[in-house]
Structure formats: C-alpha cells, structure tokens
Structure 1
Amino acid sequence: MLLWLVFLPVIGGFIGWLCHVCFQRGVISVNVQASWSKLPIIVAFITICLTLLMTIILWIDAVNALSRGENWIKEVNLEWIPLLGIHFHLVLDGLSMVVIISTLFIVLLTIVYSSKENLNNLGLFYLCLLFMTSAIIMLFVITDLFLMFLFWEAVAIPIYFLISLWGRRDSSSQLRFNGASKFLIYTQLSSLLMLISIVSLALINWNLTGHWTFDYQILTKTPISSNTEFLLMLGFLAAFIVRIPFVPFHSWFIQAHIESSTTGSMMISGLLLNTAAFGLLRFVIPLFPNASIIIMPVMLVFALLTIVYAALLAFNQTDIKKLIAYIHIALMSFVTAIIYSGSMIAYQGVVIQMIAINLAIVGMFIISGLLVECYSTRNINQFVGLKERVPYLSSFTLYFILAVLGIPGTANFVGNYMMLLGSYNTFSFYTILLVIGLLLVSISFIVRMQPIFYGSIDKENTTKHKLRKKDLLLLSSIFVVLIFIGLYPQLVLDMSYSVVNQTQQYIATERVGE
C-alpha cells in the first residue's frame, strides 16, 4: 500500500495527460470531445481523493501500530543499485503520516480551485501538479540519501513549469521566465552542495566499514570528527535554507509568486516550503547533532534578521501576493529558529505549525485570487469596501489574517504557544527577540490589510460579486481544519510523538556529552 500511496498521484497524472493528448489529436470523436475536455481535472481529483482515502486507512493502521510501541507503520526495502548500496527504502512513520495527509489536502484544494482558472494544456498542467505531489510524498518517506537527493531535484521540475508555462503572461519573455529561472538556479547550486555532502558522508562510512550505503539511519551512527561533521552539515543546510527561504536567498520566492497563477502560489507555499522544514527535522538534526548545536547561534541570528527584514518590507507592499509571500518567509524563519532549540515541546509545536502556517497561507492566496477577480488588480489600495462589494469574503479574510497571526482557537495559536514555551527553556533571550519579531510581522500584516475593510463605494454604479459555492467550500474547509486542530491538537501530537522524541534525543545526547 505504501508504494501505491507514493506512485498513485503520478499515475493519475499520466492518465489525465494521455486523455488530453487523445482529445487534442482527435482520437476521441467530436461528439464526446466537449465532455472529455475536462477529463484531466476529473482524473486528478479522483486520484487525489483515492490517495487521501488510502492515507486515512493508513492513519488508522498507524494508531494501532503506535499503540503497540512500533515506530514504523509501513516499510518497503528493495535493492536498486547493490554495488553502491543504494536501496529503494521507504519508511512511513507518524511524522510522515501527518505531513503527507496535510499535503494531499492542500493538493485537493488546489485542484478544485484550478478548475476556475483559464489554463491551457490541462493534461500537462495536472501531470506537473500530480508529479510534484508524488515527488514530495517520496521525500517524506525516503530514507536513502541518494534517492532523497534525486526526488529533491525532481520537485524542482514541475515547479519550474508551473511558473513558466502557466504563470503571468508578459510581453518580455525575460521577465516572464525570471521567477522560474531564479528558482532553478538557486535550487540547483544549493543542491549540488548537498550532493557533495551526501557522497562524502557515504565515502567516510565506506572507509570505516568497507560497505557502501546511503541509508541515513545507518549513516547517523558513522563516527566523524567535529570539523568534518560541520562541513558536511553546511552542504545540507545550503539546500534547505534556500527553500525556506532565508535572506538573502529569498528573491526567487517573491518573484515566483508574482509570476505564478494563484494555483501555482498555492502549490509553492503549501507544499514546497514544508520539504525544507521537514528536511531539517528528518536529516540535518539526526545526521549532524553536534554541528547543529554549534551552528545554532548563527541560524538564530539569520532567522531573526529574516523575520525583521520580511516584516519591514511587508509594511511597504501594495501587491497582495508579495505581502503574503513576505509574511510566509517570516513565519517559516520563525519555525526554523525553533527547530534548533532541541526542545521536545517546541518540536511538537513545529509539527503543528508546519501544517497550520501552510493552510492559513494557502487560504490567504485563495482570498488574493478572489480579490483579483473582483477588483481586477492586485493593488491592496484598491480593495476598498470589501464587505459591501463581496459579502462573506471580508469575514473569511479577517479570519485568515488572524489565523496567520495565531489567535486562540486556531492551530496556529497552539503551534506558536508550544514552540515559544519549549524554546524559552533553551534560549530565553532569543525567544524574547523572536516574539518581538513576530509582533512586528503581525503589525505589518494588520497595517497593510486593515484598509480593505473600510472605505465607501458607489453602490449604484458598483457591481456586487457573490462568492461561488466552490469558493465558500474551499475557504470553509480550511477554516474547519484550522479550528479542529486548534481545539484538538492531540490527534497530531500523538501521531508524531515517537519520531519527534527520537529526533530530540539526538541533540539531547550531544548536550549531555558536552
């Protein structure tokens, strides 16, 4: 079942693409072409629903497995390149289960929203979307570092096409491909450093044991000097901080959102950034615990600078997509800083916040798309009289603004509270600075978004817009999930506890050794 979970999305994408190709080449009769033109989105929707249903069944199995004290729910271990010890080794655990189900939920929202966008070449579009989904699920369950690198790179391919082929059309081709090109250059250069670290770590282990392996669970036991460990960690860190993204590696993220469609922005923010935070928890901390402790002050300074920088720039933004992107950068930098606290409570808060931030930001991008539909501009200064012009949208907008800022009753509040509570015991001074940074982010977001709720409009000459049932369903579903996790976070905490506890032990052991 684990293999089906990983490959079902991309299989569905290929089926939808083949249907679209048959439609374009006239293989299908003219009488049924109209009904078949939307087949790729139907196939994509059914595929993700089936994958989500499979994940829910696995969740039930996971509850039973964890109750018996088992850490792994499902495992697949196949030889791929025996000469180099490369295995197709997949492990589904509690942490993977949590991030996979949240990923599939966001993909389902994205597919539903994309049905209202005027997209060309639907077959290729949904192939890219579902290929990216499969690659990200693979990243969440893979334990072989060589394969992890391959799928880390594979995620970049559909993102490039989502930006360049279905992004903003511009008369200047250079501008049109700018965001996609920046993303590809940044991620390729940083990934090259990670590949060097992966191969170096495998070579060191081979010199010591005489066996080739890329399994990170075995490589965590490889004895290496502090200086070597630190250098190898920098290679991994380079790849992850580019995708988080930290300043000064954030320009691709902003440009990608400007040029992407709303659907592209939902995929980038909802899926891509989580892979970096997950990578820190899954690979960097277990493989390099001593080096992680050494670099902790540097990472905290970088995170604080990024938070303050993003908050200050958010004050001057008039483009709503750029504003949301800067807020997202600040929030992910906050999560990254907390990962280096080494606190069990903080780690549990990180897991909650990884889900909550992405859901709230995806909700804000949906709202930004709806606002652009109603006002025909992304300029926030033009969004006046929202309550009178678009009923219900102002209420959803206010809720998601407050959710992003972490009001009580939402999943974001639970995540923030646990992260700050856990990190305060480890670095109280930095935690206070992080709180100040979060307050600055909150102020900038409120200052920029507050004017849209005020202002008068000409009721006689202004056309009122009504939210479609589909839009209400999308926003309501995110609303319900955020409230549910905010009121009952134990469901997520219990599922991810064993893995998070194991990760925390790596740093705890190193601190005791000091």
Structure 2
Amino acid sequence: MLLCWLLFIPFIGGLACWFVSRRNPDSNAARWIALASMALVFLPALSLWFGGDFSLPSHLSASPDWNRELSVPWIQQFGIAFHLGLDGLSLIMVMLASVLGMLAIAASWSSVRSRVGLFHANLLWTLGGVIGIFLAIDLFLYFFFWELMLIPMYFLIALWGHEEYDRGAHMRAAIKFFIYTQTSGLLMLAAILGLVFAYYSETGILTFDYNQLLGAHVSGTFGFVLMLGFFIAFAVKLPSVPFHGWLADTQANSPSSGAADLSGILVKTAAYGLLRFTLPLFPEASAQFAPFAIALGLISIYYGAVMAFAQNDMKRLISYSSISHMGFVMIGLYAGTFLALQGVIVQVVASAISTAALFILAGQLYERMGTRDMRQLGGLFGRLGALPGFALIFVVASLGMPATANFIGEFLILFGAFSVMPWVVVVASGGMILAAVYALYLMHRVYWGTPQGQETIARMRAREYAIMMALVVITLIVGLFPNTVLSVTQGTMNDISHWFAAGVIAASQAS
C-alpha cells in the first residue's frame, strides 16, 4: 500500500492542480496542491529512511533484498505484472525526487504566471513517472514509466521555455530532447525484449520480472549487444559524450524549475538504470565493456569542463558542468568496487543538489536582471542580498570542496577505483582542477568585478532564502555525515559489486 501511495500521489495531485486551475485560473491553490503532493511523498519516504533495515545481508542473495514489495498480475499472457519494489537505492532516489520536486515548485511560485495549473500538472506527472522508474521491478512497467515521464517534460520545455535569445528555440530544444530520449528508449525496449526471449528460450517461462531475469544466462556476442541497448539508452539520458547533444539546449531553454528537475532528477534516472539493470543483468558484458565506458567517462570529464568554460549563458555553463560531474559517475560505475559504487550514489545526490541549486539561482537572477548572459552581468556582489553568497556556496560545492557532499562522492569514487585502475584515477583527478577553473570563472563574470551601479537590486524573498537554505543544509549533512546515505545503500551496492566481480571473472575466463 505504501508503494502505491508513493507512486500515485503525484499523478493524483497533478490532476487536482489541473482541475482547480480550470475553475479559478488566478488562484494559488494549484501551487499549494502541488507542494502538498510532493510533501506527502517525502514524509512516508523519510519514515522508511529512519525505520527501515538496510544493513548488509549476511550472504549474497540471488536478487535484491526488497524492503517493500508489491506484485499484482497485470498482463498475465505475457508474464507482465504491476510489480513494485523498494530497497535502499530506490529509497534514496525517491527521497531525492520528492525534495527537489518540492523545491522546484517553490522556485516556480513567482516565475510561472500562465497556465499555472497545467504547469504543475505536467511537473507532478514528470515526477510521478520518475518515481515509477525508481519503484518498478517489472521491465515492461519500467519501460512504461520511462516513456511516460518524457511527455510532460516535453510540454514543460515547449510551453514554458525561455525565448531570451531566439524565439522558438525552446520548441526546437523540446523536439531535440524528445527525439534523443525516444530513440534511445526504443533501443532499450529492443534490449528488454531480447532479454525476455532469451530467458524464455532457456527456461520456457515468459516473464518481464526483474528478479527472475537476473537468473538469465546471457553471454557472448548476444549478451554484449543486449547490454549495449541498455547502456546507450542510459548514456543518452546521463548524458555521456558522445550522446550529450540534447542537454545544453534543453536545460538552457527550460523554465528554471524544469531545468532543476531535469538536471537533478531526470538525468539521474540514467545512473539509477545503470546500477539497477545494466550491471546486474549483464555482469560479464559490462566487465568486457568497462574499459570503453571508463574512456567515455574520462572524455566527458574534460569535454564538459572545457565546454563549460567556453559558455556565455549561465544555464549552458551549468549544463556542461553536469556532464563533467557525470563522467566521474561513469568511472565509479565501471570500476565496480563497493567503495566506488557507494561514491556513485553520493555523487548522484550531491550533483543533483548542487546543479539544481545553481539552476534555481540562475532563474532568480534572471527574474531580477532580465538576462543570463554573463557578458551583460558583473559586479553584483553586495547588490543582491544573500543571492551571490548562496551562489558561491554551491559553486564551491560543485568543484568538490571538503565538507560538501560533492567532495565525499568524488573522493569515494576515486579512492574506490584506485585499487583496480590507478592510472584512470590520476587522469580523472585533473578534471577537478578544471572544475575549479570554470566554477570560479562563473563567479568572477557574474558577481565580481567592477559594479555597474551602487543601488541595491531586489533582495531575496523569504521563500527563495528558504529554498537555498534547505539545499545548503542537505549538502552539508551529506558532506559531514555521509553515512546518512551510505548506510541505506550499502546492502544494494554490496550485491551489485559482487555481481560485477563475478562478471569480471567470467569475462577473464571467456577471453
């Protein structure tokens, strides 16, 4: 019952926002309903976080040790069920979605003035699709939510996107986002069907159940091709070079709250998918592909950092910086050690928080200055109240300063990867230097330099201040007390690291 609550509340809340706004378009009721809906997801997830048992299992299990599980027959002829499950990994991601969902709703309070109910309906349906991804353990149901979340996100970009530099750019960005993600989704569907039929030919059982498909023995060229179908789908969404072409345009032309959710939640569904599906379902093929994936991670770190430095638009700079951050995630995933995988989780949370905060701050700055072009800004420190101070906090966090969550994530990834590939760690560490360059470059061009006036521009409102303080607190809690996250995910990461190690052994024997 609890899993249904977590899943359906955003969809019900979205419908309520739409109907309320149709009756009274000028009312704030839709905003409050949206905020309450995500709070009703966060509170039970928080209770599970404090009350659930996510300790390391006493022995390696054949399938994840689900803390909560629900299975209802759906399309029985094809072995499809409405099958939901929640473990430590799912719980962390659901909590992240609910927190950033609440903050995105609060951030859009004054910036979204047209079709308010429809906006919040699309935002909640996007979040509902994302939560469905984190809970679904039937592969058909998983694909259903994977596709479902794309449609409302498309409308968020197309109907409420920015037109600062090029009228109609937000429409092109929405179409590009849809084409990239839809095409990659079809690749994943083909891989899912291939895996299901392979298991059927082996056992005579037609099923899309994740627990059963973990037992499929898919190896050789066929297994490698199926693994690539999943990998490419997730690499597009992560995104990793060379599948990143949609990200900067999409985030630059999204409303700030939409960009915050896009970078903080939608992009992180790819890291979740690699952890949940690609590595456990295809351990041998993943081990064989690891050198190529790690190479893509290294390229992403440096490419994202260099491209971030070349941008004039704040949102585009932040977008490319997130590509660089996800390069570290790719390295941690395919290092495959328990410590590196734990670092991946912390880095996913840290990057989601810091990147979402920077997008929200970019939106607040745009409301005051009417531009995101850094060439037209500068000298704003001391003229915007606490806004530049918060920007400095999250810029410093994004470059991995100690005491922040980002530092813990990057440190665990590099430390965990060093035992299996020390040269990769040495090369990747150089990306942290470039991160400092583009992060301080952003601060210098926007907030430092010669002031263009002495008058105080609009200070932060109490709502905006509360949003930023909440994000600061989360960043510091995870940075100073990382066990708050690591203790919840340790069981799942232990299983995945053992599966990956078994894949490395199988790959070495096959060669």
> Does TM, scored on the shorter chain, surpass 0.5?
yes
Q: CA offset at residue 458 of structure 1?
A: 5.3
Q: CA offset at residue 171 of structure 1?
A: 10
Q: Secondary structure at the match of 1:283?
A: helix
Equivalent residue for 1:396, pick from 390, 394, 399: 390
Which has a greater percent of helix?
1
Q: CA offset at residue 246 of structure 1?
A: 1.7
Q: CA offset at residue 511 of structure 1?
A: 2.6
Q: CA offset at residue 174 of structure 1?
A: 5.0
- Unmatched segments (≥5 aa) in structure 1: 25-33
Q: CA offset at residue 73 of structure 1?
A: 1.5
d(CA) in 1 for partners of 2:450, 2:190: 59
Residues 1:384 and 2:374 are matched in the alignment: no
d(CA) in 1 for partners of 2:453, 2:114: 36
- Alpha-carbon deviations, 1:466-489, whole Å to 9, x = none? 111111111111001110111111
Q: Aligned runs of 1:2-151 on 2, under 5 Å?
A: 2-23=3-24, 37-63=27-53, 66=55, 71-151=65-145
Q: CA offset at residue 168 of structure 1?
A: 1.8
Q: 1:176 to 1:355 in 2, by over 3 A?
A: closer
Q: Secondary structure at the match of 1:227?
A: helix
> Which moves more between the two structures, 139-148 or 216-225?
216-225
Name the amino acid aligned to 2:449: G
Q: CA offset at residue 173 of structure 1?
A: 6.5
Q: CA offset at residue 44 of structure 1?
A: 0.7
For the 8 Å contact 2:298–2:428, the answer to whether it is kept is yes
For the 8 Å contact 1:386–1:393, the answer to whether it is kept is no
Residues 1:289 and 2:310 are matched in the alignment: no
- Alpha-carbon deviations, 1:229-277, whole Å to 9, x = none? 1000111111101111122322211111121111111111111111000
Residue of structure 2 equivalent to 1:29: none
d(CA) in 2 for partners of 1:248, 1:273: 15
For the 8 Å contact 1:191–1:238, the answer to whether it is kept is no
For the 8 Å contact 2:181–2:237, the answer to whether it is kept is yes
Equivalent residue for 2:498, pick from 497, 505, 510: 505
Name the amino acid aligned to 2:466: L
d(CA) in 2 for partners of 1:50, 1:347: 30
Q: Aligned runs of 1:264-279 on 2, under 5 Å?
A: 264-279=258-273
Residue of structure 2 equivalent to 1:302: 296
TM-score, structure 2 length as denominator? 0.94
d(CA) in 2 for partners of 1:176, 1:268: 14
Q: Secondary structure at the match of 1:340?
A: helix
Name the amino acid aligned to 2:37: T
For the 8 Å contact 1:371–1:383, the answer to whether it is kept is no
RMSD of aligned alpha carbons: 1.8
d(CA) in 1 for partners of 2:149, 2:119: 14
TM-score, structure 1 length as denominator? 0.94
Name the amino acid aligned to 1:345: L
- Alpha-carbon deviations, 1:456-510, whole Å to 9, x = none? 33555x4432111111111111001110111111121111110110111111112
Name the amino acid aligned to 2:421: F
Name the amino acid aligned to 2:121: L
d(CA) in 2 for partners of 1:307, 1:78: 43
Q: Aligned runs of 1:189-228 on 2, under 5 Å?
A: 189-228=183-222
d(CA) in 1 for partners of 2:140, 2:463: 42
Equivalent residue for 1:471, pick from 450, 464, 469: 464
Residues 1:422 and 2:416 are matched in the alignment: yes
Q: Secondary structure at the match of 1:10?
A: helix
> Which moves more between the two structures, 484-493 or 217-226?
217-226
Name the amino acid aligned to 1:400: F
Residue of structure 2 equivalent to 1:350: 344
Residues 1:253 and 2:247 are matched in the alignment: yes
d(CA) in 1 for partners of 2:383, 2:100: 28
Q: 1:457 to 1:449 in 2, by over 3 A?
A: closer
